[in-house]
Amino acid sequence: MPKPITSYKSTALAMSNIALIKYWGNSNEALRLPINPSISFNLRDLYTTTTVEFDAALERDEVVIDEAPAQGGAYARVVKHLDLVRGEPNATHPKFARVISHNNFPMGAGIASSASAFAALSVAACAALQLSKSEAELSALARQGSGSASRSVPGGFVAWRDAHAYTIAPPDHWALMDVIGVVSSGHKKTGSTEGHALAPTSPLQAARVADTERRFGLCEQAIRQRDFALLAEVIEQDALMMHGVMMTSQPPLMYWLPASMAIMHAVQELRASGVAVAFTIDAGPNIHCICESAVAPQVEAMLNAIQGVKQVLSSQIGGPAIIVR
């Protein structure tokens, strides 16, 4: 006899991640299947904690993000994701859920929360319904909420190819950090969902995609051999190729601000002076400085001295998404 289910509530924690080889563009928009493989590491110190409770007293899903009820598109995206988990309408568990989600990183810091948010939501919702899912299945589920969320399910250094992501090295394999120069806290004008759809309008996208396996291979090698010089070269080229595609899309996506450029120059100067630091940039103006942990204080000092840097956030490498309650 299966055990009767008495609780439909679970809490999960998932970290954000920073891509070293970027995902930009889908081969299937609806399923968020990526046009190219990517590599990232999880950000131990920037995470989302989400509680999902299926409750028979509810008449609709309730979603609260950082103490405020979610509205419009954000609400609809969570409901759509719950629909993937809750399955058939005649299932025995209560139909609607209360979702309470909290980001530990400052709201409006311009740090994308969709990766940690959909990874935490997937893990918490499946645990609440006592569905036993493998890490690969949870990663594939998270992917459908936000592509990069697939990489926040496994821990450490993570690669994502096709349906799901997987660990390529544990968090303690290499003591790297992400030191983020926040130059704007405003909301992005064009979010990444729309951005992925625009990627094929750039004539540079085909060349970027055709070259991805080379960059992916070099990045994997750099990680395996802890070769910072190789890592720096390949991740900066990869980020610049993605931004080349963004800037030449129709309409163009121009995310950089003057301070973004100032940081990129400062990072390259610092590296030329022997400091193990390199930059990468997501779909926004903030610059992620990837560095060896030992030089993080120097990188933080460099960022704090640049005009236009509003805030500096730092994170070490973290583990997989986990159930906390």
Asked if 222 touches ligand PMV (CB under 6 A), the answer is: no
Query: Which is nearer to ligand PMV, 193 or 298 (by Cβ)?
Result: 193
Among 15-23, 70-78, 92-100, 130-138, the segment contacting ligand PMV (CB under 6 A): 15-23
Asked if 215 touches ligand PMV (CB under 6 A), the answer is: no
Asked if 81 touches ligand PMV (CB under 6 A), the answer is: no
Asked if 122 touches ligand PMV (CB under 6 A), the answer is: no
Q: How far is the CB of 114 from ligand PMV (least distance, A)?
A: 5
Asked if 290 touches ligand PMV (CB under 6 A), the answer is: no
Backbone φ and ψ for 123, nearest 5 degrees, come out as -70, -40
Among 56-64, 173-181, 190-198, 270-278, the segment contacting ligand PMV (CB under 6 A): 190-198
Asked if 146 touches ligand PMV (CB under 6 A), the answer is: yes
Query: Which is nearer to ligand PMV, 284 or 320 (by Cβ)?
Result: 284
Among 7-15, 124-132, 142-150, 230-238, the segment contacting ligand PMV (CB under 6 A): 142-150
Asked if 178 touches ligand PMV (CB under 6 A), the answer is: no
Residue choice 36, 167, 192, 286 for contact with ligand PMV (CB under 6 A): 192
Asked if 315 touches ligand PMV (CB under 6 A), the answer is: no
Asked if 42 touches ligand PMV (CB under 6 A), the answer is: no
Query: Which is nearer to ligand PMV, 183 or 302 (by Cβ)?
Result: 183
Residue choice 42, 101, 122, 148 for contact with ligand PMV (CB under 6 A): 148
Q: How far is the CB of 101 from ligand PMV (least distance, A)?
A: 16
Say if CB 158 and CB 147 are below 8 A apart.
no
For the purposes of burial, counting CB atoms within 10 Å of the CB of 64, is it exposed (0-12), middle (13-18) or buried (19 or more)?
Answer: middle
Q: Which 100-119 residues touch ligand PMV, going by CB under 6 A?
A: 112, 114-115
Q: How far is the CB of 235 from ligand PMV (least distance, A)?
A: 11
Site string for ligand PMV, 230-269 (x = CB under 6 A): ----------------------------------------
Say if CB 99 and CB 145 are below 8 A apart.
no
Asked if 283 touches ligand PMV (CB under 6 A), the answer is: yes
Say if CB 46 and CB 111 are below 8 A apart.
yes
Q: How far is the CB of 59 from ligand PMV (least distance, A)?
A: 31
291 is written with which tokens? 């560095």
Asked if 152 touches ligand PMV (CB under 6 A), the answer is: no
- Please state the three-class secondary structure of the chain as a single string: CCCCCCCCEEEEEEEEEEEEECCCCEEECCCCEECCCEEEEEEEEEEEEEEEEECCCCCCCEEEECCEECCHHHHHHHHHHHHHHHCCCCCCCCCCEEEEEEECCCCCCCCCCHHHHHHHHHHHHHHHCCCCCCHHHHHHHHHHHCHHHHHHCCCCEEEEECCEEEEEECHHHCCEEEEEEECCCCCCCCCHHHHHHHHHHCCCHHHHHHCHHHHHHHHHHHHHHCCHHHHHHHHHHHHHHHHHHHHCCCCCCCCCCHHHHHHHHHHHHHHHCCCCEEEECCCCCCEEEEEEHHHHHHHHHHHHCCCCCCEEEEECECCCCEECC
Say if CB 38 and CB 282 are below 8 A apart.
no
Q: How far is the CB of 91 from ligand PMV (least distance, A)?
A: 29
State the residues that interact with ligand PMV by CB under 6 A.
Answer: 19, 22-24, 38, 112, 114-115, 146-148, 192-193, 196, 282-283
